[in-house]
Amino acid sequence: MSKKILLMFCLLTLVSCGVKKNSKLTGKKNKTSELVSKEKYRAQQRQVEEQRRVHEETKKEKEKRVAAKSSETLEATSRVAVTTDMIQDYILLYKDIAKDNMSQFGIPASITLAQGVLESGSGQGTLSRNANNHFGIKCHKEWDGPSVRHTDDAPDECFRKYDRPEESYRDHSQFLVSRSRYNDLFSLDKDDYEGWAHGLKKAGYATDPKYAFKLISLIERYSLDQYDREVLGDKPAKVKKEIDTKQSETRVASSKTHTVQKGDTLYSISKKYNTTVAKLQKTNNLNGTNLSIGQRLKL
């Protein structure tokens, strides 16, 4: 009996030791597993934080580049900072006026728009806002309309004032057509915007030595020459249709002439006979706007 009791006691002791040993081994294993998991988690967190930091820095750099690209300073009669959107809005607002003036006066729409953007600061400059003067045209001795004072090349200069921007655009075209120093421009092709830009600078339209390059840069960046092509592309179709459908009227009209009198200009003659400067130039093979007293012009 005592032997049985002793045997059972030994068995219980062995079982107890085994359980404790297994318990210790299991606990150690779990603890090791737990430590590895935390290290991985921390490593993942560090990686996420690094990615977030890099993303934020990249985003800030991109925003800086976009801001630098979309903002520029235009300087002519006023120094103003404008954005790409402001320039594009200005172009859309006045492109049709520039195209109409091209059809009537022969000045490329691309040149007119580029000058308007530059001279007026896309409509944000002092003269354009206070006087609707988008081209920085000064009073000159023949101007008897309203005016404003503005400091440009000299202090307190006299500049023309208009009721509407459209009047400024029209006066700009008339100004170029009526000044003999710009005559050479009208011998250039209407799609030669580079020639026109350099010609304006050479004729003294602006004192800025980089004026021509600024105009060319605006034309090419905003594809302003597309409006020249639109106008030039319309003309052949209209002329062909007129020849095909009104040959007799054309022959009668071509027989009419005008003898140039003192004070006549192509513009005044075009208004008198309800035609355009460009048509008079084409009909009479004129390269510029110079006229001689007694000269006979076909209408």
Residue 168 lies in a domain: yes
Per-residue pLDDT, 184: 94
Per-residue pLDDT, 4: 61
User: How many residues appear in the chain?
Assistant: 299
Per-residue pLDDT, 65: 52
Tens digits of per-residue pLDDT, 235-261? 444 444 444 444 444 444 445 888 888
Residues 286 and 206 in one domain: no
Structural domain ending residue among the three candidates 199, 231, 263: 231
CATH of the domain at 181: 1.10.530.10
Residue matched to tokens 């009227």: 249
Residues 96 and 210 in one domain: yes
Residues 95 and 167 in one domain: yes
Q: Is the pLDDT of residue 234 over 80?
A: no
Tens digits of per-residue pLDDT, 75-132? 554 567 888 899 999 999 999 999 999 999 999 999 999 999 999 999 998 899 999 9
Residues 84 and 212 in one domain: yes
pLDDT band at 269 (very low <50, low <70, confident <90, very high): confident
Tens digits of per-residue pLDDT, 196-215? 999 999 999 988 899 999 99
Q: Is the pLDDT of residue 15 over 70?
A: no
Per-residue pLDDT, 33: 47
Q: pTM for the whole thing?
A: 0.57
Tens digits of per-residue pLDDT, 166-189? 999 999 999 999 999 999 999 999
Query: Nearest 5 degrees, angle CA 60-CA 61-CA 65?
Result: 115
Q: Is 285 left (phi over 0), alpha (psi -120 to 50) or beta?
A: left
Which tokens belong to 152? Answer: 């440009």
Please say whether the beta carbons of 271 and 174 come within 8 A. Answer: no
Q: State how many domains the chain has.
A: 2
Per-residue pLDDT, 248: 45
> Rounded CA gap, 124 and 90, in Å?
10
Residues 260 and 181 in one domain: no
Residues 161 and 284 in one domain: no
Tens digits of per-residue pLDDT, 20-75? 445 444 444 444 444 556 777 777 778 778 777 777 776 666 665 544 444 555 55
Mean pLDDT of 283-295: 80
Question: Which residue range is the domain that position 113 belongs to?
Answer: 78-231
Per-residue pLDDT, 276: 81
Residues 183 and 157 in one domain: yes
Of 217 and 54, the structure prediction assigns the larger pLDDT to 217
Structural domain ending residue among the three candidates 203, 231, 259: 231
Residues 280 and 209 in one domain: no
pLDDT band at 2 (very low <50, low <70, confident <90, very high): low
Of 14 and 213, the structure prediction assigns the larger pLDDT to 213
